[in-house]
A and B are shown apart, each in its own frame.
Chain A
Amino acid sequence: MFGNITSSMLLAILPEIALLVLITVIFIADLVLHGKQNSNLAGITAVGIAAIFVLTLIYARPGETDELVWGGMLRHDWLAFVFKLLFLASGFITTLFTIGWESVWRKGEFYVLLLTSLLGMTLMAASADLIMLFLAIETTSIPLYVMAGFMTNNDKSTESGFKYLLFGAMTTAVMLYGLSLLYGLAGTSNIYAMAESIAARAIPSPVLVGTLLLILLGFGFKVALVPLHFWAPDVYEGAPTPVTAFLSTASKAAGFAVLARVMIAAFPSILADWQTIIAIAAALSMIVGNVVALTQTNIKRLLAYSSIAHAGYALLGIAAASELGVLSVVYYFLVYAVTNLAAFGVVIIVYHTTGSDEISDYAGLSRRSPMLALAMLLAFLSLAGVPPLGGFIAKVLAFAAAVDAGFVWLAVLGVLNSIVGLYYYLIVLKVVYLFPPKDEKAIPTRRSHGIALATSVLLVLLLGVVLAPWYDWAAASAASLF
């Protein structure tokens, strides 16, 4: 069916194959391990993902030219490569954070779901065909629905999973409708043959824009853009916090990888139209995300709205539709993923001791556990876009892309929004540093959590100070789309 299977084709799906192997290993381990031994499952998963990360980094590096492999289903290029590494890293850190989370961490099926979702994401980043794309999105989403509702004895978690499923199913259906329309119009399901075919068939642009809107409904839901954001705060709040961390980083990044690839490759004929649509979505997401975040009293909801706002900033790069734009998106997600993982990491560690996600219960954290407070300070300041942390570079690149593409108004709006953002991040830090603690006891940190948190914080710093290597990766990813 695919002709001869060459080594490069296998290398292109090396992470996927390895993830499948790991999933099998977890299945077997779950059967073999009993009682207390089950706590090793998380460790096996984490080590496995780390090994896959290293394997991918060494062997799955794309060559000079970008190639379509597996009958045009996947594209082996830098964008896919960098995003796959990003997902694996997020998966690794998330797995470490699941350790100790009651009703989650001794269950084999949870890690199988996590790995399956990860597998879907790696395919999403590489998909070059509408069919593959849809399958990848579903492979990613369905495990996430279950993971969000995994704590079946907890009403909020159940609500979260159910809400996510219902809204997800509805928008997916609409998106599928859009994809089928697109296939009908273009006569091909390959994303890279789409533009040519659309041009050849002289499809009227209103029809194409309509179809695009249907598809964007699905993509927009995945990355929680306004006006498709309404699910995010409830789902983020109810889901087990490690799942929330995974949702808000890897899952969102996967959505953006797809968004960048499809928009740039398939729709050059209606460039100006979709740029406007994306710019409006970016503006709305920034404004709504930031303004509503101001009133939140629950840290998970606050981070949910902040993540909506961040999707807005990242969209600036897509709206720019330039190499610098895509570059900024990639850089943005490298930074945003590690930053948000660090932020949620603190939330997870604090929850283990206080059993609360209310911001007021963070009072005096800096007196109880200065290091934890410091990690939170760095994560939140990075989200606010303060140097020498990664968030600053990410924002500068996003604004630079917007200015370069002539969207000065969008850059100015982004800048003003980042002030609003700064305000609510500082409010949280004020609680952490200024208010007296209700309870003087130190907050213990598990070693696995400590490792995960230290890794993320270190990466936040590295992304903000040592710029050139990351920039090269982001630039190579952007170049592979043009």
Chain B
Amino acid sequence: MQIPYILSAIVFLPIVAGAVLLFLPGKDRKLIYSFAFAVALITFLLSIAVYVFFDVSGPRYQFEEQYAWLPQLGISFHVAVDGITAPLVLLTGVVIFTGVIISQRIDDRPREFFAFLFILASGVFGVFVALDMFALFFFYEIAVFPMYLLIAIWGWKQTREYAAMKLTLYLFIGSVIALVGGLAMYFSSGLGTFDMIALEGANFSPEFQNLWFPFVFFGFAVLGGIFPFHNWSPDGHVAAPTAVSMFHAGVLMKLGAFAALRVGIMLLPIGAQTHMWWIILLTLVNVVYGAFIAMVQTDFKYMIGFSSVSHMGLVAMGFATLNYNGYLGASVQMVSHGVMTALFFAVVGMVYDQAHTREIPKLGGLMKIMPFAGVAFIIGGLVSMGMPGFSGFIAEFPIFMGLWDANYPWIAIIAVVSIAITAAYILRAVGRVFFGELPAELEGHMHDIRPSEKLALGILCVILVGIGIFPGVMLPMVQAGVNHALALLGGG
């Protein structure tokens, strides 16, 4: 079913709402929050509509819209979703909605906070739905720069200035280097268009592809947290306020992985085939090293931050296999990890808000106080370990199969080790934080989470379990998208 203007609405609603927010009276916190909540809810409903009404047996791109923007250079506002991006749009909708709910208690300048958060959301939606490379860059940078302010102003006092600047510089360097690569593609194609569907058929020479692929791929993959450019990410996650961590790890890192796929691998397939063998080794480092580092963390949030590096490594690894199973797994993993990590950060935020510490050894016995959060965290943990019956299994299993298919059995075997390490650090954290004795100094300070927070966690859990038990709600759609994306590699 086609719903006219739905993608334009979903891209522009948040940023327009953000602009309107800035002109509302800042003192009226109730009004600000109600407005933000309403916008987030509408965005969430729109993203559900995109997902539900996507026709799995229909054409590759659906809900397509195209308007001239700068026709002189072949730039248009051309948007549509395919089987890979429709779930990502839903993911973004979920995270913005739950993120806004969890940020209800932001006390410093909430007006600016929600405004920047919405601008960020527009950028993210824009990248996921863009079919025009210029539009993709445009929205990509819109999605990056509000992070600086969100982290620097509302972040954790100890590291926020450092982390915000580090993150912004890393991501900006990546994006502008990719931009130069994009311009090189534009000029050497000779097509005079930034439309990515047209550029898919540009037949760039192998020399050109081999030269530019690493620039474009790594330019974007920085945001996907690829080793050795992952360093900004745990610092950024930890310093960011809860909703921003959720958005950042849950959605923004997918932006990097997705753009690396969409612009890097899909437009320069020969380059991808040439370079993939060593990129896969880097992603292996991500997966295993990230998991090990996560294990030695005593800070709850750093642990989750490094687990993101590890899991995002799996996404990049899946794409790097350049085959059906790898793509399928990586695409599902983007959604699964996005929801899971949003859940983790939400719980960590709730714990920190009350306990004022994130040191795992100083926490304990929280299951009695906030059972709902505890159960949610355990569900997230099971997803993280790739336990069958949860979305993590549906995502990670195909990635390992894809590695095997691509003749990297040893890499698959080593990568699987990461699951054991993940289990170790997740279970340890669950045991320490939620079970055991409540430390004396926390006695009396802690109370259960609010009903709205339970709602947010509940939504996230339902998705994780839903995909795990009924993979049919997502897999056919992703399969359709993956088949189209793979067709580009077929000739190469």
Contacts and interface: CB of A to CB of B under 8 A. Distances in A.
A471 B165 CA distance: 33
Contacts of A81: none
Interface of B: 22, 26, 68-73, 75, 109, 111-112, 134, 137-139, 141-142, 145, 148-149, 152-153, 161, 165, 168-169, 172-173, 176-177, 179-180, 183-184, 186-187
A475 B70 CA distance: 12
Given A387-B138, A404-B187, A467 B179 contact: no
B183 A411 contact: yes
28 contacts: A367-B109, A370-B22, A370-B26, A386-B142, A387-B139, A388-B138, A392-B138, A392-B141, A396-B134, A396-B183, A399-B179, A399-B180, A399-B183, A400-B187, A403-B183, A412-B177, A412-B180, A415-B179, A416-B173, A418-B176, A419-B173, A422-B169, A422-B172, A434-B161, A468-B68, A468-B70, A471-B72, A475-B72
A170 interface: no
A386 B69 contact: no
Contacts of B142: 386-388
A404 B187 CA distance: 6
Given A403-B183, A419-B172, A467-B75, A366 B152 contact: no
Contacts of A472: 72
Nearest to B140: A387
Q: Interface residue tally of chain A, by bracket? A: 20 to 34
Interface of A: 366-367, 370, 374, 377, 381, 386-388, 392, 396, 399-400, 403-404, 408, 411-412, 415-416, 418-419, 422-423, 426, 429-430, 433-434, 467-468, 471-472, 475
B176 to A, nearest CB: 4
Contacts of B183: 396, 399-400, 403-404, 411
Contacts of B165: 423, 426
A388 B141 CA distance: 9
B180 A411 contact: yes
Contacts of A416: 173
B180 A415 contact: yes
A253 B307 CA distance: 51
B187 A381 contact: no
A433 B68 CA distance: 37
Contacts of A377: 149
A125 B41 CA distance: 53
Contacts of B148: 426, 429
Contacts of B180: 399, 403, 408, 411-412, 415
A72 B237 CA distance: 64
Contacts of B134: 396
A403 B176 contact: no
B116 to A, nearest CB: 10
Contact of B177 (A367, A386, A404, A415): A415
Contacts of B71: 468
Given A467-B69, A468-B70, 20 more contacts: A370-B112, A377-B149, A387-B137, A387-B138, A387-B141, A388-B138, A388-B142, A392-B138, A396-B179, A399-B179, A400-B187, A403-B183, A403-B184, A419-B173, A423-B165, A429-B149, A433-B149, A467-B75, A468-B69, A468-B72
Nearest to A464: B138
Contacts of A423: 165, 169
Contacts of A468: 68-72
A472 B71 CA distance: 10
A386 B112 contact: no
Nearest to B111: A370
B111 to A, nearest CB: 8
Contacts of B109: 366-367
Contacts of A392: 138, 141
Contacts of B145: 381, 386
Contacts of A433: 149, 152-153
Contacts of B111: 370
Contacts of B172: 418-419, 422
Contacts of B187: 400, 403-404
A387 B184 CA distance: 20
Contacts of A374: 22
Contacts of B152: 430, 433-434
Most buried by A among B68, B73, B134, B169: B73
B413 to A, nearest CB: 40
A419 B68 CA distance: 30
Nearest to B188: A403
A215 B20 CA distance: 51
A430 B138 contact: no
A467 B71 CA distance: 9
- Which of B70, B173, B184 is the most central at the interface, judged by chain A CB atoms within 10 Å of its CB? B70
A288 B153 CA distance: 30
Contacts of B141: 386-387, 392
Contacts of B176: 415, 418-419
A467 B138 CA distance: 13
Contacts of A467: 69-70, 75
B321 to A, nearest CB: 31
Contacts of A388: 138, 142
A422 B184 CA distance: 23
A421 B138 CA distance: 19
A430 B153 CA distance: 8
